[in-house]
Chains A and B, each alone.
Chain A
Amino acid sequence: MSLTDRAKWNGAAGSYDGFIARAAERRWARFKTELFGGMNGRVLFVAAGTGIDFQFFPPGRSIEAVDVSERMLERAAMRSREYDGQIRLHQMDVRQLAFQDESFDQAYTSCTFCSVSEPVEGLSQLRRVLRPGGTLRMFEHTGSRWFPFNAMLHMCTPFTRRYGPAMNRPTVANVRKAGFEVESVTPHYLDVVKSIKARKPAC
């Protein structure tokens, strides 16, 4: 487990909802509700954080949710109890998932791979635990294909990475590198905030 990531997010847990998440969640609620609405079968949710995304999950699902930070999970525990379904929380690094191969139908992420130190390694783990043909659904902020937005994101990253996420990750390319087939990429803001739909090849 990465102590750097874990320590960073443990430190951020107290202020995360008020400082980063609440305003962003209001802005992105519609897109997340739409994306998470497709949850079905055995679902893995990566980087549960404080559980602020649980409100967008459709009711009645059975979900395994992981996060690297125990402080984040303490806060998520309260929200998981309010969910109309089952959310089981695990302290786990996405790069070292303790689940069996091909044991999930779907994996979901929400602003996760901006913060994972070795994103392709983490995505490869998701590929391992998904069954053949299983789906990966991601709501992420990434680098942009467009100048000058990408230049801004590169400039901000040395600052933001100290306290939270990197802003310039090539996440769509990383998804492909990890062996997924990208089905669609829907930009929600300037090709920076986007929904990514991908699939593990069937064979």
Chain B
Amino acid sequence: MCAVGGRGRFIVGDLLATSAACALIAAIAGLVVPAGWAAWAAMAAGMLAGMVLAVPCWLVAGLWLGMIEPMLQIMLGGMLAGMAGGMAAVNEVRSDIFGLMLLGLACGAATSLATACADWALRRWGSECP
């Protein structure tokens, strides 16, 4: 049975940390992926950049949120934000740094909220009582 209660501040903390990390990741991915690349290559490069950039973001977030939960959210969100940033780069919107950050912010927030919902569902229905 789920009781959000005390989890609330951690859900908000995860959301803020993941969104901020993903905004940064999307902006960097958007700047480093070359504009002339094919869409699939830009997405793959962005995802890879997202994975790498997620590690320092996770280590910082982990200091005040715990290690495991931010790791999963920032890694997942970072890959998504990196892909989105890479795609934005090939579509020539790299100069719009605020647009890239907003895109990353949306990816991070969506990942964090989806993760919180999945967590709630698993706690509600996912217990094993053999």
**Which A residues fall within an 8 A CB radius of B?**
18-20, 23-24, 26-28, 30, 141, 145-146, 148-149, 152-153, 155-156, 159, 167, 172, 182-193
Contacts and interface: CB of A to CB of B under 8 A. Distances in A.
Contacts of A189: 68-69, 119
B130 A182 contact: yes
Contact of B69 (A20, A27, A145): A27
Nearest to B127: A186
28 contacts: A19-B62, A19-B63, A20-B67, A23-B67, A24-B66, A24-B67, A24-B68, A27-B10, A27-B66, A28-B66, A146-B118, A146-B122, A148-B76, A152-B71, A152-B72, A152-B76, A155-B51, A167-B68, A167-B71, A172-B128, A183-B130, A185-B127, A186-B127, A188-B123, A189-B69, A190-B118, A193-B68, A193-B69
Interface string B84-124: 00000000000000000000000000000001001100110
B122 A191 contact: yes
Contacts of A184: 127-130
A187 B123 contact: yes
Given A149-B72, A156-B75, A172-B128, A27 B123 contact: no
A151 to B, nearest CB: 9
Contact of B63 (A23, A155, A187, A190): A23
A23 B64 contact: yes
A23 B72 contact: no
Contacts of B65: 23, 27
B55 interface: yes
A156 B127 contact: no
B57 to A, nearest CB: 13
A43 B16 CA distance: 41
Contact of B122 (A27, A156, A159, A190): A190
B6 A30 contact: yes
B8 interface: no
A20 B59 CA distance: 10
Contact of B128 (A30, A182, A190): A182
- Between B6, B115, B130, the greatest number of chain A beta carbons within 10 A of the residue's beta carbon is seen for B130
A146 to B, nearest CB: 7
B36 interface: no
Nearest to B55: A159
A34 to B, nearest CB: 12
Contacts of A20: 62, 67
